[in-house]
Amino acid sequence: MERRPLIAGNWKMNLSLDDSVNLVKEIGAGMSGVKGVEVLVAPPFTALSTIRQAIGDSGIFLAGQNMNSEISGAYTGEVSGRMLQGAGCTHVILGHSERRALFNETSEVIDLKVKTAVLLGLIPIICIGETLEEREAGRTFDVIKEQLNLSLHNFKADELMLPSNILAYEPVWAIGTGKTATPDQAQEVHLFIRKWIEGTFDTKTANQVRILYGGSVKPENVADLMSQADIDGALVGGASLKADLFVKLIRFKES
Ligand code: 13P
């Protein structure tokens, strides 16, 4: 089963509107002629509509970095999935470790968001990953399993685990630190995640769902990571803010 690679840029809380537009235009120009690779950017909310226009017909997918689990209502400061769709998003990143650690998002909260996203027709990119402390204590697989069980809690009963849903393994110790998981370390966890999908849902779904790796992905390490059997793409922070670096990631097959 062929899974189309996805290179996704999570811009986090960075870039002016002008810089964002320039970046996405340079990415669009740089990826021309690339076949068989999907490209996505996740700008801050305030840039989404403008970036959607700047994307034009270059084929870059647009994602929100977060959303509320409610559709509308008295939730000052929040943004709903339907609003993301109105701004041109097809995807939404949910459960990023920065949301979990800095904004107290629990797997239970993420579970509600993921469910709403799928019901709205937004493709969720669901992030999971262990801290350094958890890895050193030998708890990586327990943590990943618990995050999967809790963040996708309602999926089985409601048949929401669609082949288009995306998971992202982002070891917290590798995010923004320059420390990448080795391809073997990442592959080991990706395989574990795929086996969990198979056990919880079915083999067909497990073979179709894409699992991205995130954490200090750079032009120097992307090809080795992407050569692993269960790594289907990258969720990129720092290197997604520089057009030349991000285009090299998109062109990983050429490196
Ligand atoms: P870095 O690529 O900067 O390590 O960030 C990874 C990340 O958090 C993507 O969501």
Could you list the residue range(s) of the whole structural domain that residue 125 is in? Answer: 6-254
> 146 an active-site residue?
no
Atom of ligand 1 nearest to the CA of 218: 2
pLDDT-derived band at 156, boundaries 50, 70, 90: confident
236 lines ligand 1 (CB under 6 A): yes
Pair 80, 49: CB distance under 8 Å: no
Within a 13 Å sphere around the CA of 38, how many CA atoms are in the beta-carbon half?
Answer: 20
**How much is the average pLDDT of 229-251?**
98
The total domain count for the chain is: 1
Ligand 1 mean position to 19 CA, how many Å? 19
Each residue of 72-91: pLDDT tens digit? Answer: 999 999 999 999 999 999 99
Q: Which residue has the tokens 């009963």?
A: 157
pLDDT-derived band at 159, boundaries 50, 70, 90: confident
Helix, strand, coil tally for the chain in percent (to 5): 45, 15, 35
Q: What's 217's domain CATH number?
A: 3.20.20.70
- pLDDT at residue 101 greater than cutoff 70: yes
- pLDDT at residue 99 greater than cutoff 90: yes
Q: For residue 1, what pLDDT is reported?
A: 59
**How much is the average pLDDT of 93-107?**
96
Beta bridge partners of 10: 42
> 96 an active-site residue?
yes
Does 239 fall in a domain? Answer: yes
pTM of the predicted model, to two decimals?
A: 0.97
Q: For residue 112, what pLDDT is reported?
A: 95
Amino acid at 198: E
Atom of ligand 1 nearest to the CA of 127: 10
Does 196 fall in a domain? Answer: yes
pLDDT-derived band at 62, boundaries 50, 70, 90: very high
- pLDDT at residue 180 greater than cutoff 90: no
- pLDDT at residue 178 greater than cutoff 90: no
221 lines ligand 1 (CB under 6 A): no
**How much is the average pLDDT of 41-51?**
98
- Point out the catalytic residue in the list 38, 98, 134, 170: 170
Pair 203, 247: CB distance under 8 Å: no
Does 20 fall in a domain? Answer: yes
Does 216 fall in a domain? Answer: yes
Does 1 fall in a domain? Answer: no
Atom of ligand 1 nearest to the CA of 168: 10
Does 145 fall in a domain? Answer: yes
- Mapped onto helix, strand or coil, the DSSP state of residue 63 is strand
Bridge-based pairing of strands 166-169 and 6-10 is unpaired
